[in-house]
Amino acid sequence: MKRVAYAGLALLLLLACIPNCKKGDAAVNPVPPEGDSITVPAGYRLVWHDEFDGPAIDQTMWNFEIDGNGGGNNELEYYTARPQNAYIDSGKLVIQALKEDYAGKSYTSARMNTSGNADWTYGRFEIRAKLPYGQGLWPAIWMLPTDWVYGGWPASGEIDIMEVLGNEPNKLYGTIHYGSSPATHQQSGGTYVLPQDTFAGGYHVFAIEWDTTGFRWSVDGTQYFSTLHGSPFDRRFHMMLNVAVGGNWPGSPDAYTTFPQKMYVDYVRVFAKTQ
């Protein structure tokens, strides 16, 4: 579909932008690149997207977190803003984990977010990606609250669209986290196991639908889990993309883990319900 086919849509999106639209929302980036088409699910409208077709990561849309403190999970990497750890290649975002000595750590990677650039309350979030593999690798596509109005983690919630452990590269996790304090942390989630191949073997579409009643997770169009929930998931959240190395859940890399490891992201798309 050509760019001209989206001109009317862009105007409509600008006029109908949801109340929490931010810099980087439909008003900024509503039109797919020339020759591309976006399938809009029935009952939704496109409000934000990144097709990663530019020469470099758009830093009006994405922030880099620079941190070597373990991400709250005793992770082993140092997150950087260097092009060695995150870059655009042939229309794909690449987040690359490296084994190297850097700032007192033995691994580097990247963690990116849209906080302050694009934040949403409710919608359909769709990401097409190919994942890294190997013991100790932990790719994630997830969301955190922007305003933390209910308190620190997990009181204000966490939405995990996709997590895969590199030692089980065919098993997908989708989860929400909540609770009044870390001591009373609760979670609700489901898993999906690919019948063939792994999530490192090709691209898959990871999606979550979030509305006032709860959440529905799917992969490649197959819903695999749903849950009902209200607060704290009634406030705006932003998107997170990262590849962790090590940590409490996946454990450390072993002698069979190879580097570099890469997560390729073809696109990130956000849709809002039309009514």
Whether the pLDDT of residue 207 is over 90: the answer is yes
State the catalytic residue, choosing from 77, 126, 158, 209.
158
Whether the pLDDT of residue 67 is over 60: the answer is yes
Residue 184 Cα to chain centre, angstroms: 26
What local confidence, expressed as pLDDT, does residue 37 receive? 83
DSSP run (H or E) holding 12: helix 7-15
Structural domains in the chain, CATH included, are 48-273 (2.60.120.200)
CA 265, 87, 174, 227 torsion: positive or negative?
negative
> What span, in angstroms and rounded, lies between the C-alpha atoms of 71 and 248?
10
Quick: pLDDT tens for 82-116: 999 999 999 999 999 999 999 999 999 999 999 99
Q: Name the token pair of 38.
A: 């976006």
Q: Tell which residue, 54, 8, 11, has the closest CA to residue 34.
A: 54
Whether the pLDDT of residue 10 is over 70: the answer is no
- Average of per-residue pLDDT values in the chain: 89
Whether the pLDDT of residue 3 is over 80: the answer is no
What local confidence, expressed as pLDDT, does residue 275 receive? 77
Whether the pLDDT of residue 200 is over 70: the answer is yes
Q: Structure pTM?
A: 0.88
State the catalytic residue, choosing from 51, 75, 77, 163.
163
Quick: pLDDT tens for 120-137: 999 999 999 999 999 999
Mean pLDDT of 15-36: 42
Q: Name the token pair of 11.
A: 């105007």
Q: Tell which residue, 247, 251, 256, has the closest CA to residue 70.
A: 247
Q: Name the token pair of 9.
A: 């849509």
Whether the pLDDT of residue 178 is over 80: the answer is yes
Active site residue 65: no
What are the phi and psi torsion angles at 229 (to 5°)? -170, 145
Whether the pLDDT of residue 64 is over 50: the answer is yes
Question: Across the chain, which distance is largest between two alpha carbons, in Å?
Answer: 55
Active site residue 158: yes
Whether the pLDDT of residue 17 is over 90: the answer is no
Q: Tell which residue, 146, 128, 132, 122, has the closest CA to residue 91.
A: 128
β-strand partners of 145:
237
Mean pLDDT of 202-206: 98
